[in-house]
Amino acid sequence: MTEPLPPVTEEEARAAVALAARLAGVPLREEWQAAAATSYLATVAAARLVLDFPLEDEAEYAPVFRPVFRA
């Protein structure tokens, strides 16, 4: 079993968003920073739900869905 993810603070979320925006070359206006950090924290919370879900070692992957396209 892996270690649980450490908690992410609002300050760390703002720093992560600012860094990602800078690396991607996306201008991040001051009035967008709080909303972007909140979105980041929501994404972290969703990831925790997935990563913290206990699975047995014998668990198998689900089959891959391949849609059939008809013209």
Q: For the chain, which residues make up each domain, given as ranges?
A: 10-51
Of the CA atoms within 13 Å of residue 18, those in its CB half-sphere come to 11
Helices 33-51, 10-24: axis angle to 10 degrees equals: 100
pLDDT tens across 14-66, in order?
Answer: 999 999 999 999 999 999 999 999 999 999 999 988 888 888 888 888 888 88
- Tell me the pLDDT band of 2, cut-offs 50, 70 and 90: low
Predicted confidence (pLDDT) at residue 4 exceeds the cutoff of 90: no
> Does the reported pTM lie above 0.75?
no
